[in-house]
């Protein structure tokens, strides 16, 4: 009996399906990541138009258009970052100021932090100010974790809302960052599956934020985890290599936002 090999199209079908699935996930991740800066572009563009239409002070229109430019540049950087995760481009890693990146991300969420009355505390331990990372991807990582904490805190009623961001030097010399909230929380099983693509507990979530975080951390040779707190909320954490030429830093930095 002669056995004929399967048609070429049939043998390529599993590979084609896998590639289509990868393309779909990449497209969805780009849509997920650029949604916020695109919304900012629309908001500030409308503000600039209103200033022009009402013949208001040029300084107001100038500020709004500067915000449009900044959001556009951020959207472009995010697209490049996602392409880097897909292996299409290479992003340079530099000695990134972790405290500055945290401040930038918290500034983006300042309106939400005020609206939900979230007490936010940032603590950067001695020696933990600089990490070796892509600046864009470091901010993406922090943005997703802080955004998740804000989302978990917004429905809380009957108790104060708090978020604590802490950076320290780990036992192996890496920089360990944790984002802890006392929000709605999750059980251990949900936390274990949270990094899977399309896994989400949000009514309108796409389930890609933590999957992107894992891809970023893996690309940097780091670690990422998510734990349910024993009382309320959850703690997300990651560890990244410390920059080879860290800036001198002799004192802890602690800041309160809210």
Task: Indicate the SS3 state at residue 253.
Answer: strand
Give pLDDT, residue 249: 39
pLDDT on residue 136: 84
DSSP category for residue 251: S
Boundary (domain end) residue, out of 85, 104, 125: 85
Residues 76, 116: one domain?
no
DSSP string, 122-162: EEE-TT-SEEEE-HHHHHHHHHHHHHHHHHHHTT--SS-EE
The predicted pLDDT at position 93 comes to 72
pTM of the model: 0.65
Low-confidence ranges of the chain (pLDDT < 50): 1-12, 20, 23, 198-199, 203-207, 246-253
Whether 147 and 198 map to the same domain: the answer is yes
Do 112 and 61 fall into the same domain?
A: no
pLDDT for the residue numbered 108: 87
User: Residue 181 belongs to what domain range?
Assistant: 94-257
What does the pLDDT read at residue 125? 92
Is the domain of 54 the same as that of 163?
no
Same domain, 118 and 175: yes
pLDDT tens digits, one per residue of 18-39: 554 554 555 555 655 666 677 7
């Amino acid at each position: 009996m002669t056995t004929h090999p399967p048609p070429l199209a049939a043998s390529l079908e599993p590979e084609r399906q896998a590639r289509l699935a990868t393309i779909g996930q990449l497209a969805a991740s780009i849509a997920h990541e650029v949604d916020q800066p695109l919304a900012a572009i629309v908001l500030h563009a409308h503000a600039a138009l209103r200033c022009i239409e009402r013949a208001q002070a040029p300084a107001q229109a100038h500020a709004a258009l500067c915000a449009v430019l900044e959001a556009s540049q951020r959207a472009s950087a995010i697209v490049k970052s996602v392409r880097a995760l897909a292996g299409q481009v290479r992003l340079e890693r530099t000695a990134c100021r972790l405290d500055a990146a945290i401040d930038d991300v918290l500034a983006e969420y300042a309106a939400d932090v005020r609206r939900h009355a979230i007490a936010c505390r940032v603590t950067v331990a001695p020696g933990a100010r600089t990490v070796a990372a892509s600046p864009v991807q470091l901010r993406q990582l922090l943005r997703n974790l802080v955004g998740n904490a804000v989302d978990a805190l917004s429905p809380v009623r009957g108790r104060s809302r708090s978020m604590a961001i802490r950076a320290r030097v780990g036992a192996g010399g890496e920089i360990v960052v944790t984002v802890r909230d006392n929000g709605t929380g999750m059980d251990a099983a949900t936390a274990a599956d949270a990094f899977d693509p399309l896994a989400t507990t949000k009514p309108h979530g796409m389930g890609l934020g933590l999957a992107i975080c894992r891809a970023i951390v893996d690309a940097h040779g780091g670690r990422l985890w998510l734990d349910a707190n024993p009382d309320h909320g959850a703690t997300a954490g990651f560890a990244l290599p410390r920059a080879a030429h860290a800036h001198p830093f002799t004192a802890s930095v602690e800041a309160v936002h809210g």
